[in-house]
Structure 1
Amino acid sequence: MITYSIIIPVYNEEDNLREMYRRVVQVIDQLDGPTELVLVDDGSKDRSLAILEALHQSDSRVHYLSLARNFGHQIAVTAGLQYAQGEAVIIMDADLQDPPELLPQLIEQWRSGYHVVYAQRLSRAQESWLKKLMAYGFYRILNQFTEIPIPTDTGDFCLMSRQVVDILNSMPEKHRYIRGLRAWIGFPQTAVRFNRDPRFAGEVKYTFRKSLNLAIDGIISLSRKPLKIATYLGLMAALVAIVMIILVLFWRIYDAPPQLIGYTLITIAVFFLGAVQLICLGILGEYIGRIYDEVKQRPIFTIKKAVGFGKNP
Structure 2
Amino acid sequence: MLQVTHTPPAVEVGAGAQARPALSVVVPVCNEEGSVHPLVRELVAVLEGIGVTYEIVLVDDGSRDATWEQITRLAAAMPAVIGVSLSRNFGHQRALLAGLQLARGQAVVSMDGDLQHPPELIPSLYEAWRQGYKVVNTQRRDEEVASAFKRFTSRYFYKLFSVLAEVPMAEGNSDFRLLDRTAVDALVNLKAAELFLRGAVQWLGLPATVVPFQPERRIHGSSKYTLRKMLSFAGDAIISFSTKPLRIGIWLGIATSLLAFVEIAYVLARYFRGETVSGWASTVGILSFLFGVLFIILGIIGSYLAWIHQSLQNRPTVIIRDSVNLPRT
Give the shorter-chain TM-score range. Answer: over 0.9
Of 290, 296, 310 in structure 1, the residue corresponding to residue 307 of structure 2 is: 290
Q: What is the CA–CA distance in structure 2 between the aligned matches of 1:225 and 1:10, rounded to whole Å?
A: 34
Of 283, 296, 307 in structure 2, the residue corresponding to residue 279 of structure 1 is: 296
Deviation for aligned residue 1:262: 4.2
Q: What is the CA–CA distance in structure 1 between the aligned matches of 2:294 and 2:193, rounded to whole Å?
A: 28
Deviation for aligned residue 1:257: 5.8
Q: Structure 2 length as normaliser, TM-score? A: 0.91
Residues 1:188 and 2:216 are matched in the alignment: no
Correspondence 1:1-313 to 2 at 5 A: 1-256=20-275, 261-312=278-329
| Percentage identity across paired residues of the two chains | 38
Work out whether residues 61 and 92 of structure 2, in 8 Å CA contact, stay in contact via their aligned partners in 1. Answer: yes
Q: What is the CA–CA distance in structure 2 between the aligned matches of 1:155 and 1:97, rounded to whole Å?
A: 11
Q: What is the CA–CA distance in structure 2 between the aligned matches of 1:85 and 1:288, rounded to whole Å?
A: 35
Q: What is the CA–CA distance in structure 2 between the aligned matches of 1:79 and 1:125, rounded to whole Å?
A: 32
Q: What is the CA–CA distance in structure 1 between the aligned matches of 2:305 and 2:259, rounded to whole Å?
A: 28
Code of the aligned partner of 2:46: V
Code of the aligned partner of 1:281: L
Bigger relative CO (Cα 8 Å, ≥ 6 apart)? 2
Code of the aligned partner of 1:62: V
Work out whether residues 64 and 307 of structure 1, in 8 Å CA contact, stay in contact via their aligned partners in 2. Answer: yes
Code of the aligned partner of 1:49: W
Q: How many matched pairs?
A: 310
Q: Structure 1 length as normaliser, TM-score? A: 0.96
Q: What is the CA–CA distance in structure 2 between the aligned matches of 1:108 and 1:126, rounded to whole Å?
A: 27
Q: What secondary structure is seen at the aligned counterpart in 2 of 1:123? A: coil
Deviation for aligned residue 1:253: 0.8
Q: What is the CA–CA distance in structure 1 between the aligned matches of 2:305 and 2:256, rounded to whole Å?
A: 23
1:155-183 residue CA offsets vs partner (Å, 9 max, x unmatched): 11100000000011111212110010011
Q: What is the CA–CA distance in structure 2 between the aligned matches of 1:206 and 1:58, rounded to whole Å?
A: 31
Q: What is the CA–CA distance in structure 1 between the aligned matches of 2:64 and 2:73, rounded to whole Å?
A: 17
Q: What is the CA–CA distance in structure 1 between the aligned matches of 2:323 and 2:116, rounded to whole Å?
A: 26
Q: What is the CA–CA distance in structure 1 between the aligned matches of 2:279 and 2:322, rounded to whole Å?
A: 68
Work out whether residues 110 and 116 of structure 1, in 8 Å CA contact, stay in contact via their aligned partners in 2. Answer: yes
Work out whether residues 4 and 35 of structure 1, in 8 Å CA contact, stay in contact via their aligned partners in 2. Answer: yes
Q: What secondary structure is seen at the aligned counterpart in 2 of 1:138? A: helix
Q: What is the CA–CA distance in structure 2 between the aligned matches of 1:202 and 1:41, rounded to whole Å?
A: 16
Task: Say which is worse superposed, 107-116 or 120-129, in terms of deviation.
Answer: 120-129
Deviation for aligned residue 1:203: 1.2
Deviation for aligned residue 1:126: 3.2
Work out whether residues 125 and 197 of structure 1, in 8 Å CA contact, stay in contact via their aligned partners in 2. Answer: no
Give ranges in structure 1 of 5+ residues lacking alignment. none
Q: What is the CA–CA distance in structure 1 between the aligned matches of 2:115 and 2:75, rounded to whole Å?
A: 20
1:117-169 residue CA offsets vs partner (Å, 9 max, x unmatched): 01101224432211111101110111011122223211111000000000111
Work out whether residues 124 and 198 of structure 1, in 8 Å CA contact, stay in contact via their aligned partners in 2. Answer: no
Deviation for aligned residue 1:270: 2.3
Work out whether residues 154 and 171 of structure 2, in 8 Å CA contact, stay in contact via their aligned partners in 1. Answer: no
Q: What is the CA–CA distance in structure 1 between the aligned matches of 2:70 and 2:297, rounded to whole Å?
A: 47
